[in-house]
Structure 1
Amino acid sequence: MKVLIAGAGRLGTQIARVLSAARNDVTLVERDEDRVAELEGMPQVRLVAGDACEPGLLERAGAFACDLFIAATGRDEDNLVISLLAKRQFGVGRVAARVNEAENTWLFDGRWGVDVAVPATTPLISLIEEATGATDTVALLRLSKAGVEVIETAITARSRAAGHTLGEIGLPAGTVVATVVRDGRPTVPGPGVRLMPGDELLLVSHEATEQEIQAAFQ
């Protein structure tokens, strides 16, 4: 699958790493040339410097040939313009856009070319699953080796996290809980989910070590 991502912030970069590790053809567009230089050498990802709101730049980046476009900048107005261009001018089949400000959610629909609107608070892997239409999230997680660590932990009766909500757990920086598996059923976690013995968690992090994450729960 050919994927074009606008915005090389933390979110856009993480998405690019996971999707490229899953053997997709990924291009990442970023207007900040310093950020592009910082990411040079990123494995299996093509970097393009420029403003993704400009049709000419998107054409050079390969918008006509892409199967999935993800607008992941930190500005809602940019994500809307980019999504509209992707859908109406370049005919991209699936367009996902990040919603940074909750009050703007109503704008992110088909009128602006958005197929999937994803709130900024959505966990990384849930966002990728929504954007790609993937159903085997765990398989995708296990492919994410390029700079994004996937860590599993299980809650027991002795775990310090047992009986506490996710919102009460102090997670290391750069870490999100991707899913909580309870009684064999994975769920998208919210801060109000209370952890119980027998729960299994999958976490994604680009900074923390496995020891730091285990310490938060065990």
Structure 2
Amino acid sequence: MRFVIIGAGRVGLRTARVLREEDHDVTIIEHDEAMIRRARTQEFTVVEGDGSREDVLDEAGIAQADVLGALTGDLNVNFTACMIAKYHGCRTVMRIDEAYREGIYRKYADAVDEVIYPERLGAIGAKNALLGGTIRAIADIAPHLQIVELTITEAAPVNGYTISELELPADATVLAFGKHEQPLGIPSEDESLAVGDRLIVLADFAVLSEVRQLLVGEDPKQATANADADPGIDADTGGIH
């Protein structure tokens, strides 16, 4: 997938690194010279300028991009960039500060695909929002443990199994289960797994690839690459830009 990220601050740059490690194409837009140098030192393609300007977005390849992540600290820049990206058919993910009142949040949330609070979620949340899809990292709770939400797909080997028949690796545990579009709850052994159902799993990084293969149906090479990339995400609580 092709991503355009506006803002080369701490979370923006870390999110860009994780996306690149998963073989996605990432272009960054930034106007601050020091941040531009840092991103280019890490061998990112960087377009200098204001991310709310259409000519700058054009230079970054917005017409060919799949997703725009507007991750600056300027709400007006983020929103304007998202509106331009929507015109080009991109998925739009916009940063908003926690300080904004609920009415402001709703106004912007209705206009873009997803609103995120990077100060709270860090790079994990930003990456999840950008990618969407069937696997969402929720939290790193220890050096080698992560809680993830996985959505059962057609390709999942366990599609059609009951919870009692589900055999995860020894270092992985189901914490919660929810039928498609239903609230999460404590799993019952008789519940059957179907496409769209969600599982919250606590797993050691060493077995994440195996868990992905079972519940999502990723091939072994893809599952290993994705699992290896997750520990590199730093749940940074600092500002982006």
TM-score w.r.t. structure 1 length? 0.62
State how 1:7-26 maps to structure 2 within 5 Å. 7-26=7-26
Amino acid at match of 1:71: A
**In the alignment, what sits opposite 2:143?**
152
Describe the SS at the equivalent of 1:11: helix
Contact 1:180 1:201 in 2 (8 A): no
Report deviation, 1:27: 0.3
The one-character-per-residue Cα deviations of 1:181-205 (angstroms, maximum 9, x if unpaired) are 9842389xxxxxxxxxxx7687643
Partner of 1:66: 65
5+ residue gaps, structure 2, are 150-171, 178-201, 206-230, 237-241
Whole-angstrom distance in 2 between the partners of 1:179 and 1:102: 28
Summarize deviations over 1:141-192 as a string: whole Å, max 9, x none.
9xxxxxxx997346xxxxxxxxxxxxxxxxxxxxxxx6379842389xxxxx
In 2, the alpha carbon distance for the partners of 1:150 and 1:21 equals 22
Query: Which residue is equivalent to 2:115?
Result: 117
Question: Does 2:196 correspond to 1:205?
Answer: no
Query: Is the Cα contact below 8 Å between 2:95 and 2:116 reproduced in 1?
Result: yes
Aligned-partner SS, 2:95? strand
The 8 Å contact of residues 69 and 130 in structure 2, kept in 1 or not, is answered as: yes
Measured at CA, do residues 46 and 185 of structure 1 come closer, stay the same or move farther in structure 2, by a change above 3 Å? farther
Aligned counterparts of 1:26 and 1:107: Cα–Cα separation in 2: 28
Match of 1:102 among 94, 100, 103: 100
Structure 2 SS opposite 1:108: helix
1:168 equivalent in structure 2: none
Task: Report the alpha carbon displacement of residue 19 of structure 1 after superposing the two structures with TM.
Answer: 0.3
Cα gap change, 1:184/1:22 in structure 2, threshold over 3 Å: closer, same or farther? same
Q: 1:19 to 1:56 in 2, by over 3 A?
A: same
Distance 1:30 1:137, change over 3 A: same
Residues 1:38 and 2:38 aligned together: yes
| Aligned-partner Cα distance in 2 for 1:118–1:25 | 21
CA RMSD of aligned residues (A): 3.2
Find the counterpart in structure 2 of residue 179 from structure 1. Answer: 147
How far, CA to CA, are the matches of 2:125 and 2:46 in structure 1?
24
Q: Does 1:6 align with 2:17?
A: no
Q: Give how far 1:63 is off.
A: 0.3
Identity %: 25
Shift of residue 86, structure 1, vs aligned partner: 1.0
Separation of aligned partners in 2, 1:186 and 1:64: 40
Residues 1:60 and 1:126: Cα distance change in structure 2 (over 3 Å)? same
Q: 2-side partners of 1:150 and 1:16: how far apart?
A: 22
Secondary structure of 1:131's counterpart equals helix
Deviations 1:61-115 (A, max 9, x none): 1000000110000111211111111112x232x111111133231222343xx10
Match of 1:79 in 2: 78
TM-score, normalised via structure 2 length: 0.57
Q: Is the CA contact 1:97–1:116 (under 8 Å) kept in the aligned structure 2?
A: yes
Corresponding letter in the other structure for 1:87: K
